[in-house]
Structure 1
Amino acid sequence: MSTQSDIPVLFILFNRPDHARQVLDQIRQAQPLELYVAIDGPRPNHPTDAEKVAQCVALLDEIDWPCQVHRLIQSCNLGCKKGVSTAITWFFEQVEMGIILEDDCLPDPTFFTFCRENLYYHQHNPSVMHIAGVNFQGGQWHGDGSYFYSKMCHIWGWASWRRAWQKYDVEMATYPTFREFNLINTLFADPKVQEYWQDAFDGVYTGHIDTWDYQWCYAIWVNYGLCICPNQNLISNIGFGQEATHTKEDTESTANRPLQPLVEVIHPRFLIENREATDYTLRKFFRKPNGIRKKMENITNKSGLKTVKTTFKKHLLP
């Protein structure tokens, strides 16, 4: 039997029991001593939700390794913004550090080793706030280690610390001041990148975008935080499709990416943001194309905000 992991895992589920079972099978290989499970409640006017949520709850009966299971099962649907952020806050209220996996984020077994090594290595380094599991660098290797530092906090399988999450505010209370002083210009030089993030932050602050992760980016950036990104891809997103909340289309070839097992964790010699890697990610996923504002306004007028949310999110979630 493999050695059990001493790093707690938060497993966030909703209404996709088939995806969730695949991820649970990978968690089983790591055998965490503590497993936290958060399941959002069924949505009103979605007849299939109740049964699918019930099937996700039933998955907990398949946990067959020695571990302490903690449950946060919602009776009503909180949605993406409140459901996920509430689950992560609940998790970090009880643990100092840990791994977060949603039900469509399939990890390579070495993802757990990668997170464990970096959680301990950077435990007392406040400048590092996030450890990501995905790599979308198009085959580029950055630096002299197994990972590099970036501004970008990809959230398809990640890890962090209580000390970092304590800086998170789902309502972004300081955002009006951030916007008043146009501080987005101090973060990014490219006007189209600035525009993308300004619109995204405006959307979540006003409640037009129902999500939790733009707020996490905001918290990291206003606290001069850095994110760890692996030079090999350790997470494959298996959740693209019409049942997904946001990732309905795979327009960026980010779905079902092959996993690349990590042989060892080699720490970079320098704790410096790799701007080349950050800029590559921004250009590929987070830059507003010319004419997009008019297009977004037209979409809003014809189809309502739900389409706009999807357009934003399919770029963010990697």
Structure 2
Amino acid sequence: MSTQLDIPVLFILFNRPRHARKVLEQIRQAQPKELFIAIDGPRPNHPTDREQVAQCTALLDEIDWPCQVYKLIQPRNLGCKRGVSTAITWFFEQVEMGIILEDDCLPDPSFFTFCRETLLYHQHNSSVMHISGVNFQGGQRHGDGSYFYSKICHIWGWATWRRAWAKYDVSMQSYAEFRQNQVIKDLFTDQKVQQFWTEAFDGVYAGQIDTWDYQWCYTIWTSGGICVCPNQNLISNIGFGQDATHTKEDTESTGNQPLQTLTEIVHPRFLIESRRATEYSLHKFFRKVSGIKQRMENITNKPGLKNVKTTFRKHLLP
């Protein structure tokens, strides 16, 4: 980009300085005028965390372009659920709209342009609540624009507005009523999809899954929201490996996807969900499975929101 990015960026780090430096290099190309840095604290009983978190903190000294830097450095570990959600809430207490990157989500330079243009284009459209950077549609293209609309809110590089995040509730206080009234059946017709999301939401609501992103899906869907998804892949998750918190294996080949450059942004003619795209994602990534396949998936991660290895969580959204 020839000029500085005028959309604020939140960069969330923890204990992987090598990955974080690569992402910071891409942020440097965009040169955001406002850069928010959130770093979770070291975990107790993890002896390498303190040094790795310190190395991530030291990366702030490499911010060498003219910008305003804001810092939220936690003295103690908050974990995925509280650490990430607290950082995003802090971000939107200060900005109206912004781009969010975690330390393993490597963006193509055009990702920043894409987010800027779609944030501004949909700024006053309350039904659009999320902008994704990844594309996991297996080569399929949807609609007549550079992006399409879907229910699926991938969070490996994304953007949103204060107006949307204001609806977020990390504790999902309305979920008991949602479950009692079986609202999931109004969202999805496939019983295995219903079962997948019900078990995921149950786990989060009961405190058995330490994550923040299922709650963001819940917020979007219960608010009648929709998501922007690019027709090209603008983010590569470089964080798969044994040092990852959640994405230790990549059985679906969603990690380390090639980056594609978006050369122009054409807005879709119609603001209508691509049900074909949503159904493709649901059937590929978000359906309940059973038997041996279920047990195998319970010890890996699918591409989804991005987090946890538990009996409830096979993955989340890429």
Q: Per the alignment, in what secondary structure is the counterpart of residue 144 of structure 2?
A: coil
Give the alignment's TM-score, normalised by structure 2: 0.94
Partner of 1:111: 111
Is 1:289 matched with 2:289?
yes
Q: Kindly indicate whether the alpha-carbon contact (under 8 Å) linking 2:309 and 2:315 is maintained by their aligned counterparts in 1.
A: no
Q: How does 1:232-271 map to 2 (within 5 A)?
A: 232-271=232-271
Shift, 1:36, TM fit: 0.1
Partner of 1:219: 219
Shift, 1:137, TM fit: 0.2
Partner of 1:230: 230
Q: Kindly indicate whether the alpha-carbon contact (under 8 Å) linking 1:17 and 1:52 is maintained by their aligned counterparts in 2.
A: yes
- Structure 2, unpaired ranges of 5+: 300-306
Partner of 1:137: 137
Partner of 2:23: 23
The one-letter amino acid paired with 2:285 is F
Partner of 1:9: 9
Shift, 1:312, TM fit: 5.4
Task: Give me the whole-angstrom Cα distance separating, in 1, the residues matched to 2:250 and 2:243.
Answer: 13
Task: Give me the whole-angstrom Cα distance separating, in 2, the residues matched to 1:2 and 1:267.
Answer: 23
Shift, 1:124, TM fit: 0.2
Can you list the C-alpha shifts for 1:35-81, whole angstroms capped at 9, x where unaligned? 00000000000000000000000000000000000000000000000
Partner of 2:155: 155
Partner of 1:304: none
Partner of 1:168: 168
Q: Which has the higher helix share?
A: 1
Task: Give me the whole-angstrom Cα distance separating, in 1, the residues matched to 2:312 and 2:49.
Answer: 25
Shift, 1:172, TM fit: 0.2
Task: Give me the whole-angstrom Cα distance separating, in 1, the residues matched to 2:308 and 2:2.
Answer: 45
Q: Kindly indicate whether the alpha-carbon contact (under 8 Å) linking 1:8 and 1:34 is maintained by their aligned counterparts in 2.
A: yes
Q: Kindly indicate whether the alpha-carbon contact (under 8 Å) linking 1:30 and 1:112 is maintained by their aligned counterparts in 2.
A: yes
- Structure 1, unpaired ranges of 5+: 300-306
Give the alignment's TM-score, normalised by structure 1: 0.94
Partner of 1:302: none
Shift, 1:243, TM fit: 1.0
The one-letter amino acid paired with 1:103 is D
Q: Kindly indicate whether the alpha-carbon contact (under 8 Å) linking 1:2 and 1:29 is maintained by their aligned counterparts in 2.
A: no
Can you list the C-alpha shifts for 1:139-198, whole angstroms capped at 9, x where unaligned? 000000000000000000000000000000000000000000000000000000000000
Task: Give me the whole-angstrom Cα distance separating, in 2, the residues matched to 1:174 and 1:284.
Answer: 28
Task: Give me the whole-angstrom Cα distance separating, in 2, the residues matched to 1:110 and 1:308.
Answer: 29
- Alignment CA distance shift 1:126-1:229 (3 Å): same
Q: Kindly indicate whether the alpha-carbon contact (under 8 Å) linking 2:101 and 2:158 is maintained by their aligned counterparts in 1.
A: yes
RMSD across aligned C-alpha pairs, in angstroms? 1.8
- Alignment CA distance shift 1:257-1:308 (3 Å): closer
Task: Give me the whole-angstrom Cα distance separating, in 1, the residues matched to 2:95 and 2:226.
Answer: 21
Partner of 1:86: 86
Shift, 1:2, TM fit: 2.4
The percent of aligned pairs where both chains have the same amino acid is: 78
Can you list the C-alpha shifts for 1:204-224, whole angstroms capped at 9, x where unaligned? 000000000000000000000
Task: Give me the whole-angstrom Cα distance separating, in 2, the residues matched to 1:63 and 1:194.
Answer: 45
Task: Give me the whole-angstrom Cα distance separating, in 2, the residues matched to 1:313 and 1:109.
Answer: 32
- Alignment CA distance shift 1:188-1:138 (3 Å): same
Q: Kindly indicate whether the alpha-carbon contact (under 8 Å) linking 2:200 and 2:313 is maintained by their aligned counterparts in 1.
A: no
The one-letter amino acid paired with 1:228 is V
- Alignment CA distance shift 1:294-1:98 (3 Å): closer
Partner of 2:36: 36
